[in-house]
Chains A and B, each alone.
Chain A
Amino acid sequence: MTEQVVTSTHYTSDASGLRSIAADFSSDRQAFRNVSWGKAMMWIFLLSDTFVFSCFLISYMTARMSTTVPWPNASEVFALTIGGTTLPLILIAIMTFVLISSSGTMAMAVNFAYRRDRRKTAVLMLVTALLGAAFVGMQAFEWSKLIHEGVRPWSNPWGAAQFGSSFFMITGFHGTHVSFGVLFLLIVARKVWRGDYDHEKRGFFTSRRGNYEAVEIMGLYWHFVDLVWVFIFAFFYLW
């Protein structure tokens, strides 16, 4: 600990901007100073996941730009009739708000975790998991509605055949991420509730001492899932 403080002041006290980046990467020790291995690894995983989702969205773009058949109008395809009035995209809008709410409660959970407020952190994480589960439920409803209307990965009643394959691939992969996020949330929430991070109990997988940073790392994953939805919402549903 003392050693780290000494060396980091040596390298970073006078460096800023690009110079600090050069100093960090050429330091012959860990590049991401003050960043724990868990957080750095989560960020690198999220970067790789960004590429996966980018590939899906780019293949969707390519299919949509190169087809000679008109693309189905998402505004009408995803419209719902509630109480006699047809609202365009309403289910997707509700799903967006649910996911953003869950991101907000997650951010709060991270905040209370660093204040070492065990109870509030666990409750907020459970609320986040509940909102995530609600999102997946609405997505299941949307899938069954579209399948019922005749959308298949190879055809659909309204236009370009690639609409179905893009839809199932992109939203399916995102929904899987949300589902695993809910599981991940429940596991971490249980640990918080039991006080594992207060007693620095060793984890079952890495056998390293746990601390409240686990909640922030969990939060990174959850916010990323929300972030991906922002792009799916813009490019697949609104475009």
Chain B
Amino acid sequence: MAQAAAHAQGQQHPITLYLVVWIWLFILSACSYFVDYFQLQGLLRYSLILLFMMLKAGLIIAVFMHMAWERLSLVYAILVPISAVLVFVAIMVLESDHTLFSRLSFFGPGT
């Protein structure tokens, strides 16, 4: 019902919602910059980078691109195919590990 109402006159949402999301995007960007500024290393660095990235991407898609109010069939048609990218990432991680192993064992210094 809410979806139908939103589409009757296009996507209309209060301006304060956009302002709040905008401010959050600024805060999250500043946070990810400070991850580098303070030279955090190791697992903490990578997990924070990924966390801030996912939060920013989620806010942009859900609110700015209005995905949160779209029909579920459209949401799934767009988001489900992206999981193929994750499979591709997994394949290429295995592949590059193998390439690195070959390079170190057959072309590395001292062999």
Contact = CB atoms under 8 A, between A and B. Distances in A.
A103 B85 contact: no
B68 interface: no
Nearest to A213: B10
Contact of A61 (B52, B63, B96): B96
Interface in B18-60: 18-19, 21-22, 25-26, 29, 32-33, 35-37, 39, 46, 49-50, 52-53, 56-57, 60
Nearest to B18: A107
A223 B60 contact: yes
Given A103-B60, A234-B53, A62 B95 contact: yes
B12 A115 contact: yes
Interface in B57-111: 57, 60-61, 63-66, 70-74, 76-78, 81-82, 85, 88-89, 92-93, 95-97, 99-100, 103-104, 107-108
A47 B100 contact: no
Contacts of B32: 233-234, 238
Interface stretch (A147-155, A165-173, A224-232): A224-232
Contacts of A233: 32, 53
Given A97-B26, A97-B29, A110-B11, A34 B78 contact: no
Contacts of A54: 85, 88
A102 to B, nearest CB: 11
B76 A21 contact: yes
A156 B26 CA distance: 33
Nearest to A18: B72
A134 interface: no
Contacts of A61: 89, 92-93, 96
B25 A103 contact: yes
Contacts of A231: 53, 57
Interface string A44-78: 10110011001000100111011110000001000
A195 interface: no
B92 A89 contact: no
Contacts of A40: 74
B79 to A, nearest CB: 9
10 contacts: A21-B76, A40-B74, A50-B85, A58-B89, A62-B96, A66-B96, A88-B37, A103-B60, A104-B22, A113-B10
Given A20-B72, A24-B72, 4 more contacts: A103-B60, A234-B52, A238-B32, A239-B49
Interface of A: 17, 20-21, 24-25, 31-35, 40, 43-44, 46-47, 50-51, 54, 58, 61-63, 65-68, 75, 87-89, 93, 96-97, 100, 103-104, 106-108, 110-111, 113-115, 212-213, 216, 219-220, 223-224, 226-227, 230-231, 233-234, 237-239
Interface of B: 3-4, 7, 9-13, 15, 18-19, 21-22, 25-26, 29, 32-33, 35-37, 39, 46, 49-50, 52-53, 56-57, 60-61, 63-66, 70-74, 76-78, 81-82, 85, 88-89, 92-93, 95-97, 99-100, 103-104, 107-108
